[in-house]
Structure 1
Amino acid sequence: MQRIILDVDSAGDDILAVLFAAAHPDIKLEGVTTVTGAAGPIKQVTDVVLNTLSLAGRDDIPVHAGAWRPIVGHAKAAMEAPVHFEKRLTARFGDRLKTFNPPAPEPRRKANPGHAVDFIIDMAKANPGEITLVTTGPTTNAALAILQEPALPSLLKNMLVLGGNFTTPGNMTPLSEYNIWADPEASRIVLNADVDKILVPLDICEDNRVADSMLTRDDIADMASIGADNAVVDMIGEVFPIYIDIWREFFGLVGFPMDDVITVALAFAPDLVTTTAPLFADVVIDKGVARGQVVAYRGHQILPGGDGPKTTRIATGLDGRRFLSIFKTTMARYARAGDLGTAA
């Protein structure tokens, strides 16, 4: 049983990651922390998580709101671009966009008291060497926790970080992926931290070379056919077809990429991916098109540099078919025998 804290920004695949982590038998989801990111302000992000856990019948899982802005960030218009992304899609999809990142209804419970950063630190201190911190959004909370408690890297079991790109073009600039770009200073702190981590880049998530890991309508139909009376699968069938269409038509992918769920799955199945040897990874924080680019120190260079801790393994390949099978099997666990959203 792998004990994790899941740090999210509540974009579409974050919702699936929360559901996955809450139901998989090999994961104990100790808590969910939230950070401002692709889904909008911290209240929206937190309310989405609370509503998702209620749907899952897991109101017992703590939820702590975290950073409401990046450490430094970018110009206001650039930071808001992902949230307003749907405006560019209105002419193509019209009213179908109503299920794409809608305002979250008021949840039936409130977030737990206390900041996400304090929760991460307190959990790691109380359970040294047992907690895996999984970040699937900007790494602001993780970086602030490391700054506040420098011993945190030695207290964590490991980290799983979604972010970066190497062979696949970035989705914010040609050189940068959103999670790293959104808070490059925070990402640099996290990747420079002396804690074992796997970095999950766009290369193994948002690239048609791993098409067999992407969610399609066929996968939704598969889940619906085996998951009788399953509120979670019903929600996926209602909400996620538009995500599939957007990622096909706008990004040229065969389906909806499951970046966040893949990252969570590595907590109990790290062999789903092939990785580099442990290396030092850094982040470009200078202004310009390269801001937010992850730099992996490999090979041999004449100029000095790259002398940080070699603690990051970069995922380079994925067993997509096996991953997607695990995901669908896990969602089937939400089939109900009575109460709404109670996992079987």
Structure 2
Amino acid sequence: MFMNLDNQCYFILRVIVLISCLKNGLADKKCNKIIIDTDAGGDDAVAIAQLILANQIDSPPTEILGITCVAGNTKVENVVVNVLKILRVLNATDIPVFMGANRPLLRNFTFDFFYGQDGLGDVNFPNPPTIFDVQNKSGVNALVDITSQYPGEVTVIALGPLTNIALASRISPDFRSNLKNLHVLGGILDETGTAPNGAEFNFYFDPEAAFTVFNDTTSQIKPVIQLTTDVKYTEMIPLEWRWNTLAKIDSPIIKFFNEIDKKVWQSSRVKYYIPFDGFVAAAFISSDVVVSTERYCEEVLYCGEDNYGKVIVKNDSTCYQNANVIREIDTKVFMNLLINLFSI
């Protein structure tokens, strides 16, 4: 079977990445191997695109070994289709996609459809992919198998609820120790989140999973690299920049984002452009995005509706500081990074 021209181009890019990795030497770990774990809402799409396009700027080569899907912004079947749509727009359909957990570990959850019924703005997408285009292996098993194949080399970037990560750590005692790093979007420390009880959405959706991940982060495990939704900014990003600058870039992925974002960023529910998942990806791509970090010993609460997903910081000096929290990001650097990536 012959590949079409777009897929040939992406295949060539992957070969270039592999050659670059071999040239640099795998032993010194200059090549970034990553797995993206996502619930594929609108800002997840921005993050996924950033991580795919990062190979085309002056940064260490990144190989995306897979994308694992989890229920969160919408049901997991929609998440799978959303990821496949994003990859098609980016001509990156050879990245394997895996279906993961379809619900939280212990409790039921009602989706709020912030990003529309399908989780991606309900935009018209001709000849859309289906869940039958997904890999046969489950997302949880993919996380375990891939990280076992490359111990100490793979970073997992978790953009949604931590259900897949928690399950992987339970079926494989070595899963967390096999990771190079775990980046997480979730939690809120100083302010009030968007969940009904004031928690942050990802941790509220599956508090038991979030508790498991942070509780498993012992002194033998690297701290979670965490971006909370009360992260500080050098300045807020005005919506005018989103629609008058970023939206004007003439590329298929920006046109796709513009359709998605009409559902959220042009509504009265928000005043600024705040793509949290995009911040996580940007911080991974470029350390210049990060202004400051703080180490904390965190515990995620899971007992009682009022406490679901809330984070407490322990001041006990004997408690292992299991979280390295990004406290402030440079939004100017972030905006310039987006322009550079999406103008390619």
Normalised to the residue count of structure 1, the TM-score between the two structures is: 0.80
> Counterpart amino acid of 2:175?
L
Count of matched residue positions in the alignment of Structure 1 and Structure 2: 303
The match for 1:313 is 324
> Counterpart amino acid of 1:106?
P
> Counterpart amino acid of 1:72?
L
CA distance in 2, matches of 1:113, 1:56: 23
Match of 1:183 among 206, 210, 213: 206
How far did 1:275 drift? 4.5
How far did 1:54 drift? 0.5
> Counterpart amino acid of 1:269?
S
Superposed CA offset, 1:54-102 (max 9, x none): 010001111001001110134xxxx224127869xxxxxxxxx997345
Superposed CA offset, 1:153-185 (max 9, x none): 111011110001112211103541000011111
* Structure 1 residues 11 and 164: alpha-carbon distance in aligned structure 2, compared to 1, 3 A threshold: same
* Structure 1 residues 65 and 327: alpha-carbon distance in aligned structure 2, compared to 1, 3 A threshold: same
* Contact 1:213-1:258 within 8 A present in 2 as well: no
Does residue 72 of structure 1 match 2:106? yes
CA distance in 2, matches of 1:279, 1:244: 32
Unaligned runs of 5+ in 2: 1-30
The match for 1:291 is 308
Superposed CA offset, 1:247-304 (max 9, x none): xx22xx432311001112222324422454433211111113121101122377xxxx
Does residue 141 of structure 1 match 2:164? yes
* Contact 1:215-1:244 within 8 A present in 2 as well: no
Does residue 200 of structure 1 match 2:227? yes
* Structure 1 residues 216 and 125: alpha-carbon distance in aligned structure 2, compared to 1, 3 A threshold: same
Does residue 221 of structure 1 match 2:244? yes
Superposed CA offset, 1:100-153 (max 9, x none): 345876307701120011111111111111111111110000000011111111
* Structure 1 residues 30 and 111: alpha-carbon distance in aligned structure 2, compared to 1, 3 A threshold: same
Q: Percent identity?
A: 23
The match for 2:129 is 107
The match for 1:58 is 92
Match of 1:264 among 275, 281, 303: 281
CA distance in 2, matches of 1:223, 1:277: 31
* Structure 1 residues 175 and 115: alpha-carbon distance in aligned structure 2, compared to 1, 3 A threshold: same
> Counterpart amino acid of 1:14?
D
The match for 2:24 is none
* Structure 1 residues 185 and 99: alpha-carbon distance in aligned structure 2, compared to 1, 3 A threshold: closer
Superposed CA offset, 1:177-225 (max 9, x none): 0000111110011112233321111112xxxx63846473433432455
Match of 1:235 among 256, 260, 264: 256
The match for 2:71 is 36
* Contact 1:66-1:116 within 8 A present in 2 as well: yes
SS of the aligned residue for 2:140 comes to helix
CA root-mean-square deviation: 2.6
Normalised to the residue count of structure 2, the TM-score between the two structures is: 0.80
